[in-house]
Amino acid sequence: MNESGIPTVSAPVDFAPKGRSPWRDARLRFQRNRAAVASVVVLMIIALACVFGPMLLPNAYDSVDWDLMSHPPTRANWHLFGTDELGRDLLVRTLIGGRVSLMVGALATLVSVSIGVVWGAVAGFAGGRVDSLMMRIVDMAYAVPYLLIAILVVTIFGRDILLVVAAIAAFSWLDMARVVRGQTLSIKSREYVEAARAIGVPTWRIIFQHVVPNLMGVVVIYTSILVPGVILTESVLSFLGLGVQEPMTSWGVLIHDGAAVMGASPWMILFPAGALSITLYCANFIGDGLRDALDPKER
């Protein structure tokens, strides 16, 4: 603006956007999907509650309320989800259990995605004998009965949360590796990969600079499918008594304990099972939204 109040044209404002990445387009499409956005919000609330809830609530996850044992939900002493048969507050235990379940889910997913992407991308890009060898290893790992191995591992090394993570990750990267390899095979034949070779980019750099970013759509989608699976697996292991050690707990453990007294005190299974179900629903909705947003056919 100059003194006369008329906007001058001599100093144009730069409205030009910074380059719009394909990721930004995907984000915009995702934001238009209401169910997915709502699921993100709900999941965030659950995660925040699990992280901060136990700090704000007066009860500890392992302290016993001698007056209120196996009590249904009540406002007394903040037992909003009731108490278990030892008089421990179920709300705090559900939140603490959520911490464990979500952490195991996140950690195991991270590990298996990392291994799966690298393994699949290298196998797919290298092709030939390297590819055959790497994928046969995957096939062999598939043939191993993982529950049996998990039981063995936990029996031998004791119950340790990191062991649970390792046991889950050791098997869940296999699918990721296969999916990534398939995708790499198709990306490998794209012209920009040939163009990269023609400008003298070394192979390892082509894989990580040019192939992996183009895999990310598929990886993100597949991860969103993987997360609920991993959380569920943790619950299965815990339900079988292979998860975390008492008094520490997880959703799977709580459901296991609640199932035993389901007839007399249904709240003991309803709340943790509800939390798990809602989380899994949200994860699946988010996965759905991501799939629509990143659909490779749209590109």
Partner 1 sequence: MSDAPATKVLEVKDLSVQFRTNDGAVYAVNHVDFELGRGQTLGIVGESGSGKSQTVLAMMGLLARNGSASGQVLHHGRNLLGLSPTALNAIRGDRIAMIFQDPMTSLNPYLTVERQMTEVLELHRGMGRRAARLRAIEALDAVKIPDARRRIDFYPHEFSGGMRQRVMIAMALLCEPELLIADEPTTALDATVQAQITVLLRELQRDFGTAILMITHDLGVVAGLCDDVMVMYGGRVMEHASADDIFHRPSHPYTRGLLAALPRLDDTSAKLVSIPGNPPNMNELPPGCPFSARCRYVQDRCVTTMPLLQRRDVASTALRACHRSVAELDAMEASDA
Applying CB under 8 A, the residues found at the interface with partner 1 are 14, 16, 18-23, 127-128, 190-192, 194-203, 205, 209-210, 213-214, 216, 299
* Residue 263: strand, helix, or coil: coil
Q: How many CB atoms lie within 10 A of CB 199?
A: 6
Instruction: Classify residue 167 by its DSSP letter.
Output: H
Nearest distance from C-beta of residue 196 to partner 1, angstroms = 7
Q: Smaller CB distance to partner 1: residue 4 or 21?
A: 21
Q: Smaller CB distance to partner 1: residue 128 or 158?
A: 128
Q: Smaller CB distance to partner 1: residue 164 or 212?
A: 212
- Comparing CA positions, the residue from 144, 147, 148, 141 lying closest to residue 173 is 141
Nearest distance from C-beta of residue 219 to partner 1, angstroms = 12
Nearest distance from C-beta of residue 125 to partner 1, angstroms = 12
Q: Which residues contact 236 (CB under 8 A, 6 or more apart)?
A: 147, 252
- Comparing CA positions, the residue from 251, 244, 247, 259 lying closest to residue 279 is 251
Q: Smaller CB distance to partner 1: residue 154 or 206?
A: 206
Whole-number Å distance between alpha carbons of 264 and 72? 10
Q: Smaller CB distance to partner 1: residue 131 or 175?
A: 131
Whole-number Å distance between alpha carbons of 52 and 133? 47
Q: Smaller CB distance to partner 1: residue 215 or 273?
A: 215
Structure tokens given for 288: 């759905």
- HSE of 291 in the Cβ direction (CA atoms, 13 Å)? 10
Residues 262 and 268: beta-carbon distance below 8 Å: yes
Nearest distance from C-beta of residue 16 to partner 1, angstroms = 6
Nearest distance from C-beta of residue 189 to partner 1, angstroms = 9
Rounded to a whole number of angstroms, the CA Rg of the chain reads: 25
Nearest distance from C-beta of residue 23 to partner 1, angstroms = 8
Nearest distance from C-beta of residue 209 to partner 1, angstroms = 7
Whole-number Å distance between alpha carbons of 39 and 277? 12
Q: Smaller CB distance to partner 1: residue 210 or 256?
A: 210
